[in-house]
């Protein structure tokens, strides 16, 4: 791995340079909460953010996008629509980079999805280390760190003094000030990333002491998790396959609202619906796709009003299995990256770690 040292001042000039060439999306604060948004100036970015409500998936797989436009009449035509611009996703956490790697596999699976692929090719990813909150459990699903899938990755160096520089396990956003970093060690992931860094800012060689700090920060971060899955990630598919008839599904199904928020915030949920919008003249229109959600009642409804997953318990079981069992065989990895967003957003506090641990406990009793 190659690293360069980048000062706090250097990161500001880096962003300013990138903004001249690219649309840049990164963590900003709105009403006191972190979310991903377009960056207009380097001052907008809030790099030391707590996990965002929505993931950066929206910039690769938008909630709604036109796929084709059509015209009828004397000369009928169909025109495919692929909107892909050069863009940078800046300040992306390791779990979300893992999620993007999973989406890459999904959307390149035959037949590959041209809209996603084109957008992905034009996307530069700059990752950054983060601090877990009480919902994060990436450590338990092996996504706490990432070694590929980014162009550059920023490892903040913590200043040796100053109150705001301490990693705070309370995880209140107000405690994560911009002063937390004394500069960054930039891990070079691709040649493209290296060239952008060279073009837009000044860096220097790193010292052995600085490189050691990356491991130290990783160890400190590992101690901050308050929730964890009580089994090895590799055992989860088997535990889930043995839990099909668990009473847990009916129990959580009784309190679930079926709102689909957990689907919407998940960085690895990728289901969509395709719809047509025909203009009143009936001669032209567009075909578009919108995110869909397997927790919604109509998701599995088919002709004749039949529904494969009538109850909320059945729908929750389906979603959880998509994360820990069904997708593993097909794409070779757990489809939960431990970001905690579904638990963070759920109005009735259905927590994916607690549910999984209940299933693990039941499984242990059975064996
Ligand atoms: S967010 Fe919670 S209440 Fe809404 S569908 Fe998901 S599990 Fe059910
Ligand atoms: S299932 Fe929940 S915790 Fe896992 S990746 Fe999706 S939103 Fe994150």
The Cα 45–Cα 43 span in angstroms is 6
Of 261, 263, 316, the one to substitute when testing ligand 1's pocket (max ligand atoms within 8 A of C-beta) is 261
Residue 162 has pLDDT above 60, yes or no: no
Q: Omega before 111 cis (within 30°)?
A: yes
- The whole-number average pLDDT for the span 225-239 is 95
pLDDT in tens, 43-70: 999 888 788 989 999 999 999 999 999 9
Q: Which residues contact 164 (CB under 8 A, 6 or more apart)?
A: 175, 177, 179, 180
The angle that helices 312-321 and 248-255 make with each other, rounded to 10 degrees, is 120
Q: Specify the pLDDT at position 49.
A: 77
Q: How far is the CA of 120 from the centre of ligand 2 (A)?
A: 21
Q: Tens of pLDDT along 105-151?
A: 999 998 899 999 999 999 999 999 999 999 999 999 999 999 999 99
- CA 340 to ligand 2 center in whole angstroms: 5
Q: How many residues in total does the chain contain? A: 367
Q: Which of 292, 270, 288 is nearest to 65 (CA)?
A: 288
151 in Cβ contact with 14 (< 8 Å): no
Residue 166 has a pLDDT of 35
Separation of CA 255 and ligand 1 centre (Å) = 9
Q: Which tens digits make up the pLDDT trace of 21-50?
A: 999 999 998 888 889 999 999 899 988 878
Task: Say what the pLDDT of residue 159 is.
Answer: 60
pTM of the model: 0.93
Closest residue by CA, ligand 2 atom 7: 266
Angle between helices 191-200 and 8-21 (to 10 degrees): 110
Give backbone dihedrals phi and psi of 216, rounded to 5 degrees, phi first. -60, -45
Give the residue, by CA position, lying nearest to ligand 2 atom 5: 336
Any ligand 2 atom below 6 A from CB of 39: no
Residues 78, 278: Cα–Cα separation, whole Å: 13
Residue with the smallest CA separation from ligand 2 atom 3 is 340
Tokens of 311: 């109850």
268 ligand 2 Cβ < 6 A: yes
Which value, in Å, is the radius of gyration of the alpha carbons in the chain?
Answer: 22
Q: 54 with 37: CB under 8 angstroms?
A: no
Q: Are 157 and 47 in contact (CB under 8 A)?
A: no
């Amino acid at each position: 791995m190659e690293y360069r040292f980048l000062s706090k001042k250097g990161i500001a000039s880096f962003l300013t340079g990138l903004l001249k060439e690219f649309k840049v999306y990164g963590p900003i604060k709105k009403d006191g909460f972190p979310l991903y948004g377009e960056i207009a100036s380097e001052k907008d970015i809030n790099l030391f953010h707590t996990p965002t409500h929505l993931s950066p998936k929206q910039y690769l797989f938008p909630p709604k996008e036109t796929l084709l436009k059509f015209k009828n009449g004397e000369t009928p035509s169909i025109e495919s629509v692929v909107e892909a611009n050069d863009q940078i996703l800046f300040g992306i956490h390791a779990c979300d980079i893992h999620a993007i790697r999973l989406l890459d596999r999904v959307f390149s699976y035959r037949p590959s999805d041209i809209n996603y692929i084109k957008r992905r090719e034009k996307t530069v990813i700059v990752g950054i280390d983060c601090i877990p909150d009480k919902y994060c459990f990436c450590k338990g699903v092996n996504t706490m760190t990432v070694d590929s899938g980014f162009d550059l990755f920023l490892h903040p160096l913590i200043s040796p003094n100053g109150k705001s520089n301490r990693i705070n396990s309370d995880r209140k956003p107000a405690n994560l000030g911009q002063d937390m970093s004394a500069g960054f060690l930039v891990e070079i992931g691709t040649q493209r990333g290296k060239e952008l860094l060279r073009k837009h800012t000044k860096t220097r060689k790193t010292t052995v002491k600085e490189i050691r700090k990356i491991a130290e920060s990783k160890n400190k971060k590992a101690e901050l998790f308050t929730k964890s899955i009580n089994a090895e990630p590799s055992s989860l598919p088997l535990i889930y396959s043995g839990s099909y008839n668990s009473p847990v599904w009916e129990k959580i199904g009784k309190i679930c609202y079926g709102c689909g928020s957990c689907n919407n915030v998940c960085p690895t949920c990728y289901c969509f619906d395709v719809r047509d919008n025909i203009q009143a003249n009936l001669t032209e229109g567009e075909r578009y796709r919108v995110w869909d959600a397997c927790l919604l009642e109509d998701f599995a409804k088919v002709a004749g009003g039949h529904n494969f997953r009538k109850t909320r318990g059945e729908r929750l079981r389906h979603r959880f299995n998509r994360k820990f069992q069904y997708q593993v065989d097909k794409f070779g990895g757990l489809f939960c990256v431990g970001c905690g967003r579904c638990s963070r957003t759920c109005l009735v506090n259905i927590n994916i770690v607690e549910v999984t641990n209940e299933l693990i406990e039941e499984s242990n009793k059975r064996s």
